[in-house]
Structure 1
């Protein structure tokens, strides 16, 4: 008992004997303030930001009335042919849009423009979170489509895209944009499953010796090429730069 009292007295005189040493917590890293000298989209209208696109088309995008197959309107190199398209809406019949979108690349270019317009429209409202959600969703969706195009027949992927866009359009009308970042399992089952690329077709695509013209113009930036073509300079044959950057005279 005497020893216990002596130990207690010693502990009172030396708190460090009974109190564990405080764990040193490193403060979280501090990120620098974001600085941009570019003009904010809030200071410009959509027609001013995208002068090559008809105002009526920009309005359709802003109102979420833009039809998926109308992406041709956003590609200046495309010859838009509405007569070649079947009516497509949430209750419409299946369609054949391969005349205007014969390959994944033909869809990818205007699709990225569509997302740029949508993101600029969100940024013009000053809603930073919505701008991020749209940008994040666009990146995830394009990556998703790229993966699908490598696994399934292009006609099946195109049908998946159109119906996916129609579903997202209904959500966007309610103010929700997060759906672009999530695959739609029901649509995958309906349009893609059972339409896998044949192995011979995959080998032919990946082993193609045809040069990618879009790469040489600077518009095809995904490697490997979504259309299975070779990314090399048409002028000198080098694979480290496109023709537009070639210094060979």
Structure 2
């Protein structure tokens, strides 16, 4: 067969040769790909060459010398010094005075601070001077009862603080309550250097409380003092008023004090405690109903209480009929 022969069509005629030239697009695309691959190979070769040179330099560098063995004697000497310093620090800390929580005074004459303040928690002092310290917290200022439960309980039905059984056993007298009260007033006075007359009202309250403790039953006086304390605290907190500490609360006294006056009855003079007919003092319980003209017994109280005036102690009249002072 002649290679130059023209191809024939299906009908036997010669097919017409195509006049369209071959496109060079595929050839150009192949050239660009080869150039890109060549550039990538050159970049990889440069990176490998640099890495080889770095490894060669590291291999030729001298190895670092091995670490020297530790000096056992030197370590023991340092440990001994640290132990001695720690011991001296602990001894110095145990002898150092406790922090009082008060900032140092930098100028002028500082207010007087009684020594017991240095043994009290700074939180208590802050609570006192901000008037958040309540009457039920007074035991915290007394080292005898500081670590025990609160000496007073809050009665939710009446909205008042009442003495608990523990308080009746520990705060038996005015003198026992006097200690935390003086501590409270001294802390408060020390932080009021610009009001020199304020401590006077505190002293008047202590005198008033002492007179009540002398003439009335202590359980009633203790309850009165705590409620009185909380009312004055609210006045100091809300309006900065300290004056009412010096004024007896007559309404509060009528509710808690007057019906519990101490009455002295002379005994028969017999017994080991009496000598030569000396009198024995017995504080009976005053009948509160009789003082309000409500007791069912006229001559003798059915409850065994004493029918005397709760204000003056006389038996010829009750509290309702007590002469009004003009």
TM-score, normalised relative to structure 1: 0.57
Aligned pair in 2 of structure 1 residues 203, 115: CA closer, same or farther (>3 Å)?
A: farther
Residue equivalent to 1:175? 240
Residue equivalent to 1:92? 160
**CA contact under 8 A between 1:84 and 1:99: conserved in structure 2?**
no
Equivalent positions of 1:1-249 (< 5 A) are: 40-41=109-110, 50-78=117-145, 80-82=147-149, 85-87=152-154, 91-92=159-160, 94-96=162-164, 97-123=167-193, 127=194, 130-132=195-197, 134-173=198-237, 174-200=239-265, 204=281
**CA contact under 8 A between 1:61 and 1:118: conserved in structure 2?**
yes
Aligned partners of 1:69, 1:183: CA distance in 2, in Å? 20
Root-mean-square deviation (Å): 3.0
**CA contact under 8 A between 2:221 and 2:257: conserved in structure 1?**
yes
**CA contact under 8 A between 1:72 and 1:110: conserved in structure 2?**
yes
| Cα deviation digits, residues 6-45 of structure 1 (max 9, x gap) | xxxxxxxxxxxxxxxxxxxxxxxxxxxxxxxxx7335x8x
| Cα deviation digits, residues 133-171 of structure 1 (max 9, x gap) | x21111111110110011100000001100100110011
Which consecutive residues of structure 2, in runs of 5 or more, have no partner in the other structure?
A: 1-107, 267-278, 283-326
Aligned pair in 2 of structure 1 residues 154, 88: CA closer, same or farther (>3 Å)?
A: same
Aligned pair in 2 of structure 1 residues 169, 139: CA closer, same or farther (>3 Å)?
A: same
**CA contact under 8 A between 1:81 and 1:100: conserved in structure 2?**
no
**Secondary structure of residue in 1 paired with 2:153:** coil
| Cα deviation digits, residues 111-142 of structure 1 (max 9, x gap) | 1111100100111xxx1xx231x211111111
**CA contact under 8 A between 1:88 and 1:95: conserved in structure 2?**
no
| Cα deviation digits, residues 35-90 of structure 1 (max 9, x gap) | xxxx7335x8x799811111111111011111113211112233542256413699
Q: CA deviation at 1:100?
A: 3.5
Aligned pair in 2 of structure 1 residues 101, 80: CA closer, same or farther (>3 Å)?
A: farther
Which consecutive residues of structure 1, in runs of 5 or more, have no partner in the other structure?
A: 1-38, 206-249
| Larger of the two Rg values belongs to structure | 2
Aligned partners of 1:79, 1:200: CA distance in 2, in Å? 38
Q: CA deviation at 1:203?
A: 5.7
Aligned pair in 2 of structure 1 residues 181, 50: CA closer, same or farther (>3 Å)?
A: same
Total equivalences in the alignment: 160
Aligned pair in 2 of structure 1 residues 187, 49: CA closer, same or farther (>3 Å)?
A: same
